[in-house]
Chain A
Amino acid sequence: MAKQNLNSIEKALHILMAFPPENDTMGTVEISKKLGLHKATASRILLVLTQKGLLRQDPETKKFSLGSAALDIGRAVLDSISGDIASIARYHIDQLRDELGETVVLEQFMVERTVVTHVAEGLHRVRFARGVGDHLPINASVGAKAILAFLDPEVAHDLIFAHDDFENLTPNTIIDPNRLFDQLGDIRKKGYATDHEETEYGISAVGVPVFNYEDLPVAAVVVVGMTEKINLEMEIILERLLKTARKISFSLMQG
Chain B
Amino acid sequence: MPQASSEYSDEKNCAIGKAADILKIFIPNNREMGTLEIARRLGLHKATASRILLTLVREDFLRQEPDTKKFKLGRKALIIGRSAIDSLNTGLVSLSQKYIDQLADELKETVLLKKVMEGKSIILYVAREKRAVRLIRSIGERMPILLSSGGRAILAFSKEKNIRMSEKMKQEMKKIRRDGYALNNEEGSLGITSIGVPVFNKKGKPVAAVVVTGPGGRLRVGANADIVEKIKETARMIGGEMTAKEIEE
Closest to B139 in A: A75
Q: How far is the CA of A217 from the CA of B20 in the complex (A)?
A: 28
Name 23 interchain pairs, CB-CB below 8 A, sorted by A: A7-B55, A17-B80, A23-B84, A66-B87, A71-B81, A71-B85, A73-B23, A73-B80, A74-B83, A74-B84, A75-B140, A76-B28, A76-B29, A77-B73, A108-B28, A151-B147, A213-B192, A213-B213, A215-B193, A216-B143, A216-B147, A254-B134, A255-B134
> For A154, what are the chain B residues with a Cβ–Cβ distance below 8 Å?
146, 165-166, 168-169
Per-residue CB contact flags for chain A residues 212-224 toward chain B (1 = under 8 Å, else 0) read 1111110000000
Q: How far is the CA of A72 from the CA of B55 in the complex (A)?
A: 21
Whether the Cβ atoms of A73 and B27 lie closer than 8 Å is yes
> For A88, what are the chain B residues with a Cβ–Cβ distance below 8 Å?
134
| Chain A interface residues toward B at CB < 8 A | 7-10, 12-13, 16-17, 19-23, 38, 40-41, 44-45, 47-49, 51-54, 56, 65-80, 82-84, 86-88, 108, 110-111, 115, 117, 132-133, 135, 150-152, 154-155, 157-159, 191, 209, 211-217, 249, 252-255
Whether the Cβ atoms of B16 and A217 lie closer than 8 Å is no
Whether the Cβ atoms of A211 and B192 lie closer than 8 Å is yes
> For A44, what are the chain B residues with a Cβ–Cβ distance below 8 Å?
4, 8, 12-13
Whether the Cβ atoms of B84 and A66 lie closer than 8 Å is yes
Which label, helix, strand, loop or mixed, suits the secondary structure of the B interface?
A: mixed
Contact of B76 among A13, A41, A47, A87 (CB under 8 A): A13
Closest to A242 in B: B189
Whether the Cβ atoms of A211 and B189 lie closer than 8 Å is yes
Whether the Cβ atoms of B16 and A73 lie closer than 8 Å is no
Whether the Cβ atoms of B8 and A68 lie closer than 8 Å is no
Query: For the complex, is B131 an interface residue (Cβ under 8 Å from A)?
Result: yes
Query: For the complex, is B86 an interface residue (Cβ under 8 Å from A)?
Result: yes
> For A72, what are the chain B residues with a Cβ–Cβ distance below 8 Å?
24, 27-28, 81, 140
Q: Which of B30-38, B201-209, B236-244 contacts A (4 or more CB under 8 A)?
A: B30-38
With known contacts A44-B8, A48-B17, A215–B187 Cβ distance under 8 A? yes
CB distance from B67 to the nearest CB of A (A): 17
Query: For the complex, is B5 an interface residue (Cβ under 8 Å from A)?
Result: yes
Query: For the complex, is B232 an interface residue (Cβ under 8 Å from A)?
Result: no
CB distance from A32 to the nearest CB of B (A): 13
Whether the Cβ atoms of A22 and B87 lie closer than 8 Å is yes
Whether the Cβ atoms of A8 and B86 lie closer than 8 Å is no
CB distance from B108 to the nearest CB of A (A): 11
Per-residue CB contact flags for chain B residues 207-237 toward chain A (1 = under 8 Å, else 0) read 0000101000000000000000000000000
| Chain B interface residues toward A at CB < 8 A | 4-5, 7-8, 12-13, 15-17, 19-21, 23-31, 33, 37, 41, 52, 55-56, 59, 61, 72-73, 76-88, 110, 112, 117-118, 120, 129-135, 137-138, 140-144, 146-148, 164-166, 168-169, 184, 187-194, 211, 213
With known contacts A65-B87, A74-B85, A77-B73, A152–B187 Cβ distance under 8 A? yes
> For B112, what are the chain A residues with a Cβ–Cβ distance below 8 Å?
214
Whether the Cβ atoms of A75 and B189 lie closer than 8 Å is no
Beyond contacts A9-B55, A77-B77, A214-B112: 5 other A-B pairs, Cβ-Cβ < 8 A, are: A70-B84, A71-B88, A73-B77, A111-B144, A133-B31
Q: How far is the CA of A154 from the CA of B167 in the complex (A)?
A: 10
Q: How far is the CA of A53 from the CA of B17 in the complex (A)?
A: 11
Give the interface centre of A17, A108, A216 by most chain B CB atoms within 10 Å: A216
Give the interface centre of B118, B132, B147, B148 by most chain A CB atoms within 10 Å: B147
Whether the Cβ atoms of A71 and B28 lie closer than 8 Å is no
Whether the Cβ atoms of A68 and B19 lie closer than 8 Å is no
Q: How far is the CA of A115 from the CA of B85 in the complex (A)?
A: 22
Q: How far is the CA of A255 from the CA of B104 in the complex (A)?
A: 12
Whether the Cβ atoms of A8 and B189 lie closer than 8 Å is no
Whether the Cβ atoms of B29 and A54 lie closer than 8 Å is no
Q: How far is the CA of A66 from the CA of B23 in the complex (A)?
A: 14
> For B213, what are the chain A residues with a Cβ–Cβ distance below 8 Å?
213-215
Q: How far is the CA of A87 from the CA of B193 in the complex (A)?
A: 26
